[in-house]
Amino acid sequence: MNRALRKAYLEALQIDSWVLRGEPTASSPGEARAADAWPVLTREVETCERCDLCKTRTRTVFGVGDRHAEWFVVGEAPGADEDRQGEPFVGRAGQLLNAMLRAIGLGREQVFIANVLKCRPPGNRDPQKSEIAECLPYLERQISLVRPKMILVVGRIAAQTLLQTDAPLARLRQKVHRFGESGLPLVATYHPAYLLRTPSDKRRAWDDLKFARRVRAGG
């Protein structure tokens, strides 16, 4: 990405420009088993009735992006726009997430994006523990199929879910966590919807993004 374009994305985050060195490496090809497993998993999510959210959803929100991505972005749950369109992180929050990714040299099409829940909780309420328990295996299978090198978690609930903790986000940020048996590096930051409500924390989010990029680069 050229400097002018990156500057535009940083301006969208309302933070000062910061020049980054290098670009992310190309993603590795997936295995044949993953190609066979994706349609099965997609169908399971589309027809899921494991919890009562199936009664109030418009559409399931499976996830989008590069199925061989090095970066896997995890959010909490679909909102109203996502429920209508069937895609995670659309609308204003999605635009901000795109800007956040672009600021560290990543296009939306270069990452895989999914939520802990595949259906919208009514009224955008917080997910219930029982709903998370039923839906989390789908996300875990997605991560297993993508085989990313890095997980970026946005938002308190998603971070607490993947890390199996009740610690506040403030204590989870700026640390390298490990996920799953393979010990995938995981970094947590604020949810874009929160940043839209609390723009004063965009600087902290930018610090988290730079930290995540350093972790991925091994530095």
Q: Is the pTM of this model over 0.75?
A: yes
Q: Residue 5 is inside which H or E element, if any?
A: helix 3-12
Q: Burial, 16: exposed, middle or buried (Cβ in 10 Å; 0-12, 13-18, 19+)? A: exposed
Percent of the chain surpassing pLDDT 90: 82
pLDDT in tens, 52-90: 999 999 999 999 999 999 999 999 999 999 999 999 999
Mean residue pLDDT across the chain: 90
Q: What is the mean pLDDT of residues 99-103?
A: 97
Q: Per mean pLDDT, which range of 1-15, 96-110, 149-163 is the poorest?
A: 1-15
pLDDT in tens, 164-198: 999 999 999 999 999 999 999 999 999 999 999 99
Domains of the chain (ranges; CATH) run 33-217 (3.40.470.10)
pLDDT of residue 34: 73
Residue 49 has pLDDT above 50, yes or no: yes
Q: Phi and psi (nearest 5°) for 190?
A: -75, 155
pLDDT of residue 69: 98
DSSP string, 120-172: PPGGGPPPPHHHHHHHHHHHHHHHHHH--SEEEEESHHHHHHHHT----HHHH
Q: What is the mean pLDDT of residues 14-21?
A: 49
Percent of the chain surpassing pLDDT 70: 85
Q: Burial, 44: exposed, middle or buried (Cβ in 10 Å; 0-12, 13-18, 19+)? A: middle
Residue 117 has pLDDT above 60, yes or no: yes
Alpha helices, H only, 24-79: 32-46
Q: What is the mean pLDDT of residues 120-124?
A: 95
Q: Residue 96 is inside which H or E element, if any?
A: helix 91-103
Q: What is the mean pLDDT of residues 80-101?
A: 97
